[in-house]
Amino acid sequence: MKTETNRVCKLIAGFDMEYDMLIRKKYLKVQDRLGMRIGIHGGTKKMPVPRTVQDVLKILRELYNIGLKAYILPKEFFSKIKVTTDLYTTYYGELLKIKDIANKYDIELSIEYPNLPDPPDETLKIFITIASVMGCRMFIVRPDFYPMVPQDQALRLTVYKINEIVSEVNAKAKIGMETAGKIDELGSLEDIVEIAKRTRETNIVINWGNIHARGSGSLRTTEDFDKVVKKVSEGIGVGYFREAFFIFGGVSYGPSGLVRKIPIKNCDMKLEDLIKQIMTYGMRGTLILDDPGKEQFTLQILDRLADTVR
């Protein structure tokens, strides 16, 4: 393991281009055999939050070099875009440049804005438009748009709002409804399945850590993961797992759900149990690893998976 870790560090530093290409091919093959694009969230170890177009291009180049195929952009990168007109008058060319480079590198883009402001209307319109311009697969949100409203009523309002906004904008990217980690937030697995069934241009994003935290440690065995798979299959069909979108990160939790994110290795929910489900059911889609180790941790996981998916 120490030798492999040294090799990963060597790869990231870019010291040996011939070795880099061989390792890149190895990691691409692992993803192909698993049926999942694997990627990271936010930024790299060196650049946790990109602020400029050049920052994003550097991240995309690094992900390409090491063979990762998915990337979730953080909302902070778009903080200067206040209204939709800003997008077209000032930032359109820059967003297209990111799109073109991502396409060239075959890296799937998504954008996440976990907690939308209340009311969510303008932010939804801006970010759905941004995601569509950039060719993103998903604009990922949690459905707790109306935190001061009882959850049953909030769900109805959220369904209405999403359908209203989608009707107003030319949405080419899906709105990804992500499971939430706290019990007092709208965003249980049942909630996002119900929203997806009642809205257009949406899909669900299964954040396994949030499900685990919301259930006070509910995902401890392969069987626990299987229950989630079956619940989703019953709710929106097995077709979801031909284009699934998963986020997996370590969490600590209490009686009210999520307390904070922690390294995956310190969590009592195990990535191996999810991998078994992916392989058992032949799932395909995207798997984002949300860990403080960023790409370095992700490469270590790919090394471990190389033997598993042969």
In this prediction, residue 21 carries a pLDDT of 84
Q: Could you tell me if 45 and 296 are in contact, meaning their C-beta atoms sit under 8 angstroms apart?
A: yes
In Å, what is the CA distance from 115 to each residue of 174, 214, 251?
17, 17, 18
Q: Could you tell me if 197 and 235 are in contact, meaning their C-beta atoms sit under 8 angstroms apart?
A: yes
- The distance of Cα 213 from the centroid of its chain, to the nearest Å, equals 17
- pLDDT over 80 at 13, yes or no: no
Share of the chain above pLDDT 90, in %: 88
Q: In the numeric block, which tokens belong to residue 184?
A: 């007092």
Q: What is the mean pLDDT of residues 106-113?
A: 98
Q: Could you tell me if 200 and 161 are in contact, meaning their C-beta atoms sit under 8 angstroms apart?
A: no
In this prediction, residue 3 carries a pLDDT of 53
As a whole number, the mean pLDDT across the chain is: 93
Q: Could you tell me if 99 and 130 are in contact, meaning their C-beta atoms sit under 8 angstroms apart?
A: no
Residue 288, classed as helix, strand or coil, is strand
Q: Could you tell me if 285 and 242 are in contact, meaning their C-beta atoms sit under 8 angstroms apart?
A: yes
**How far is 299 from 13, CA to CA, in rounded Å?**
13
* Domains by residue range for the chain, with CATH: 2-308 (3.20.20.150)
pLDDT in tens, 66-79: 999 999 999 999 99
**How far is 83 from 217, CA to CA, in rounded Å?**
41
In this prediction, residue 10 carries a pLDDT of 54
Q: What confidence tier does 1 reach under pLDDT thresholds 50, 70, 90?
A: very low
Q: In angstroms, how far is the first alpha carbon of the chain from the final one?
A: 19
Q: For the CA atoms of 152, 157, 158, 163, what is the dihedral angle to 10 degrees?
A: 140
DSSP 10: H
Which residue is it, tokens 């007109």?
A: 85
Q: What confidence tier does 15 reach under pLDDT thresholds 50, 70, 90?
A: very low
Q: In the numeric block, which tokens belong to residue 164?
A: 């209203």
In Å, what is the CA distance from 205 to each residue of 40, 63, 150, 247?
15, 22, 23, 7
Q: For the CA atoms of 100, 243, 310, 104, what is the dihedral angle to 10 degrees?
A: -10
In this prediction, residue 310 carries a pLDDT of 77
Q: What confidence tier does 8 reach under pLDDT thresholds 50, 70, 90?
A: low
Closest by CA position to 232, among listed 174, 281, 286: 281
Q: In the numeric block, which tokens belong to residue 254?
A: 């209490």
- The distance of Cα 122 from the centroid of its chain, to the nearest Å, equals 22
Q: In the numeric block, which tokens belong to residue 78?
A: 């778009």
